[in-house]
Chain A
Amino acid sequence: MTVTKAEALDWLRKMSLIRRFEERAEEAYGQGKIGGFLHLYIGEEAIAVGAMAALRPDDDVLTHYRDHGYVLARGIDPKRVMAELYGKATGLSKGKGGSMHMADAKHHLWGGYAIVGGHIPLATGMALANQYLDLPRIVACFFGEGATNIGTFYAGLNMAAVWKLPLVAIVENNRYGMGTAFERVSAVSAVYQKACVFNIPAVQIDGNDVLAVRDAVRDMAERSRAGGGPQLIEAMTYRFRGHSMGDPQRYRSKEEVEAAKARDPILLWRRSILENRLATEAELQAIADEADAEADAAVRFAEESPAPGPAELCRDVLIPEQESDVPEDLS
């Protein structure tokens, strides 16, 4: 294993935190405390955690809308993430974004984007800015396999390839675009093969193996940082939950889902740690307990936080002094 004990435990801690955090979010959603849509990342945690472990803190990150995992793996306070899910004033964006639109400029995390593929050319632009400003940053752009049939995928990666921009595109292939199996709607269903139209390097990896993800992202990121132009990684994975809450999942069988759970990225990594004698059962249990406690604390913080006041409605806009019939308070 090319990994230290500290790294191994840190990744397990982060994956466990994401898992516990989302399970708590799932409960809160069921209780009506979180509104709108909730897309869970459960089963895919190794990609966010492995990738963030490979990136530098000032590398720019853009993600798709299934974004809680990236935000937490980036080291952003789970309390503020949960508060954003709850739509509270203490949330990352004061409750103005919600689940799919997490952003924290201080951590160079520029957002979850919920127009599929919409953020790919943004990543190209950020990479161009970094190259122009002669900064050693790269851009990591995460999107699902479903985004690779949309125009912005081609527009964005083509330009990145033309100008050899420092960009790593990480395609999270969980095999279904909402309720449609990818091979049913994509002429080429191995996404890494699509990189040939941009003439850029591409690899396909096991996205449930956190170490494989870390290594691939590190290699591709450093190659890109050194002037090698854009790179593409296809990380194969599977989401254990529905597309979003309330998905009846008619497009796949229970057997298929159960079989996939045998390759749960957290179980795999836990087993690997034990097999390599990097930690004891007791140490791993302590990590699991810690993740539980942190997720619980995030829920408590969100529950106890105030809702944004009505005045927040017309803040952070071009014309703040809008005439309106917004009441002074909502009580």
Chain B
Amino acid sequence: MATMTLVQAIHDALGEEMERDPRIVLLGEDIGKNGGVFRATEGLWERFGAERVIDTPLAEAGIVGMAIGMALDGLRPVAEIQFADFIYPAFDQIVSELAKFRYRSAGQFTAPVVIRAPSGGGIKGGHYHSQSPEAYFIHTAGLNVVMPSTPADAKGLLASAMRDPDPVIFLEPKALYRTAKGEVPDAGSAVPLGKARIVRKGSDVTVVTYGATVRVAEEAAAQAEGEGTAVEVIDLRTLWPMDIEAVIGSVEKTGRAVVLHEAPRTCGFGAELAALIQEKAFLHLKAPVARVTGFDTPFPYALEKLYLPDARRTRNAIAAALSF
């Protein structure tokens, strides 16, 4: 066990998996000699060489397309998109090509590509450096979508992603890169994809969340506890395929659900969560499923704090569910 930040955990996972599997090759903008904008790949270029840590041109469609080709011919590429907001030039490659291989070839081959991208707000980045695009990728059949909230999960989930036979969109909450610190198990301990984590147990209301809003949920839960409300917090960790049993099991117990994420509200992943909960736990529900989300606006600069879900809004939703 060692204590480290989330970005250090990402760095460790990359290095350890590269030691374990020579087929793993990293590629992206400024990731090699420069060590990456967020320093996630610092030192890997020196350690593994320019052949395995490839500095690419500024061309996201090219990066992802190239990663797909590498995967088809037997490598395990890990592409970094410098900010998740820059992924849209590669959106066609991800949606039209990457996601389709297992199905279109009737299982003849897959493209085991991991795409890492710093996601979400909290750094005053404005509308090109703050967005949360997970819903687009969850909506596209054929992709695993992952977003860790702790260093241990970041390391363990990234290790699993690099060993998975199918593509993984690995979204890293950039606000947590250096603010999330925690103990991380030593080498080789992968966290399985598709399993949620119960962050804290409670019997009155379930908050389902992931990524940077996990700590918002924890803060709201701690405050609610002072008022005698026991909040269960679930960190999905893998957004898709999601751990539906964990969510439904919890809602059947509490009878109330709040879904919480940074991304805009309409057609956000919270909408799917709400639909699933009402389909599978309708008779257990004592209140409508509440959504606490970002707003249906472009990501704001000056008003970022207002945009991002916080403990106050989460507590309001919890209180509304309790008093329904």
Contact = CB atoms under 8 A, between A and B. Distances in A.
Given A121-B69, A126-B69, A128-B70, A159 B59 contact: yes
B67 interface: yes
**Which of B66, B109, B144 counts the most chain A CB atoms within 10 A?**
B66
Contacts of B97: 113, 115, 118-119, 122
Given A118-B96, A132-B75, A133-B74, 12 more contacts: A93-B106, A121-B66, A122-B65, A129-B72, A151-B59, A155-B61, A158-B59, A317-B103, A318-B102, A318-B141, A318-B166, A318-B241
Interface of B: 25, 51, 56-57, 59, 61-75, 77, 89, 92-93, 96-97, 102-109, 141-144, 166, 240-241
Interface residues of A, number: 43
25 contacts: A92-B106, A97-B104, A105-B105, A105-B108, A113-B97, A120-B65, A121-B61, A121-B62, A121-B68, A122-B69, A125-B66, A125-B68, A125-B73, A128-B75, A129-B71, A129-B72, A133-B73, A133-B75, A152-B61, A158-B59, A159-B62, A315-B107, A317-B102, A318-B142, A319-B241
Contact of B102 (A119, A120, A139, A316): A316
B108 A317 contact: no
A94 B106 contact: yes
B276 to A, nearest CB: 10
What are the 3 tightest A-B residue pairs by CB atom distance, in nearest-first order?
A125-B69, A121-B65, A155-B62
B66 A128 contact: yes
B164 to A, nearest CB: 10
Given A156-B62, A318-B141, A126 B241 contact: no
B59 A155 contact: yes
Nearest to A323: B279
B229 to A, nearest CB: 33
B277 to A, nearest CB: 15
A94 B144 CA distance: 24
A316 B142 CA distance: 9
A103 interface: yes
A122 B109 contact: no
Contacts of A162: 57
A243 interface: no
A130 interface: yes
Nearest to B58: A155
B166 to A, nearest CB: 6
A127 interface: yes
Contacts of B102: 316-318
A291 interface: no
